[in-house]
Amino acid sequence: MIICIGAGPGDHSYLTMRGAELIRNADVVAGFNAVVDVVKDLIPVSAQVVLMGYRDQVAKLDEVAALHHAGKRCVVVFMGDIHFSGFQYLERVERACGHRVETLPGISSAQILASRARVCFDETTFITFHRRGDLEPFKRHLVNVLNDGRNAIVIPCPWDAARSFMPRHIATYLLQQGVNPEHPTEVWENLTRGDAEWHGKLADCADKEFSDMSIMLIRTLTPMDSQIEPPPEKVAAGARG
């Protein structure tokens, strides 16, 4: 058995009960160091822990796949939710195993941000730049999302200088594309671990530095009006008699 589960982000109290149960019953718990660290208190002493980083992830996942094929109960732990900015790692797990693997969703940093900043998913699009490959289609999509009057929740890319696409690069790019500099913008760091927040306009963000553990909200300039029914008419106290 092998299952990929979402944990965190940041604090293990955001892990689902099902996720905790799977870890407590695992023979093998694998994942990036910082993510396994979030769930370390739940890992049984008898379990084998396979830690990995960006450079050795393929080799380490081959080890996990071999343990899975030998009949061990394996859990691969992902940061936040697997389905936002986690699919390339899932692909690597599946490539190592040679088959599709079950997933258990977790709570995403995007959900925590939505809760802190009070934004509605229906009116918001999620985009990540924290991925391998061509970022251009995602950049264009972000411009379209904002021009279409929706909020954007954006995971930046913190990698090496050549690829880095952090909040200041995102803001600069959007301004170059003619996006309105007045968009209310927020950057939240270390959510669930002593959050830090920055609020300003998109243009103000172009020279701000944030840590790798940050997520960005760019609000629409044209929030939708409420579409719920009008409130019941108040009967004026005096009109009753």
With respect to ligand SAM, which residue has the nearer C-beta, 42 or 86? 86
Task: List, in sequence order, the alpha helices (H) in 151-200.
Answer: 167-176
Q: How far apart are alpha carbons 210 and 11 in whole angstroms?
A: 20
Given a contact cutoff of 8 angstroms between Cβ atoms, the answer to whether 103 and 4 are in contact is yes
Q: How far apart are alpha carbons 137 and 34 in whole angstroms?
A: 29
Minimum distance, C-beta of residue 234 to ligand SAM, in the bound complex (Å): 43
Dihedral angle sign, alpha carbons of residues 95, 96, 98, 99:
negative
Minimum distance, C-beta of residue 186 to ligand SAM, in the bound complex (Å): 12
CB atoms within 10 A of CB 103: 19
Instruction: Name the site residues for ligand SAM (rule: CB under 6 A).
Output: 9-10, 79-81, 84-86, 108-110, 130, 155-156, 158, 188-192, 212-215
Report the candidate in 58, 38, 40 with the shortest Cα–Cα distance to residue 49. 40
With respect to ligand SAM, which residue has the nearer C-beta, 81 or 186? 81
With respect to ligand SAM, which residue has the nearer C-beta, 51 or 67? 51
Minimum distance, C-beta of residue 228 to ligand SAM, in the bound complex (Å): 29
With respect to ligand SAM, which residue has the nearer C-beta, 190 or 220? 190
| In the complex, residue closest to ligand SAM by CB | 80
With respect to ligand SAM, which residue has the nearer C-beta, 85 or 220? 85
Distance of CA 48 to the CA centre of its chain: 27
Token pair listed for 79: 């940061």
With respect to ligand SAM, which residue has the nearer C-beta, 2 or 186? 186
Dihedral angle sign, alpha carbons of residues 82, 86, 87, 92:
negative
Minimum distance, C-beta of residue 94 to ligand SAM, in the bound complex (Å): 16
Minimum distance, C-beta of residue 80 to ligand SAM, in the bound complex (Å): 2
Strands 184-189 and 196-201, by their bridges, are antiparallel
Dihedral angle sign, alpha carbons of residues 218, 222, 224, 230:
positive
Minimum distance, C-beta of residue 156 to ligand SAM, in the bound complex (Å): 6
The values of phi and psi at residue 3, to 5°, are -140, 140
With respect to ligand SAM, which residue has the nearer C-beta, 182 or 212? 212
Report the candidate in 186, 201, 15 with the shortest Cα–Cα distance to residue 116. 186
Minimum distance, C-beta of residue 88 to ligand SAM, in the bound complex (Å): 8
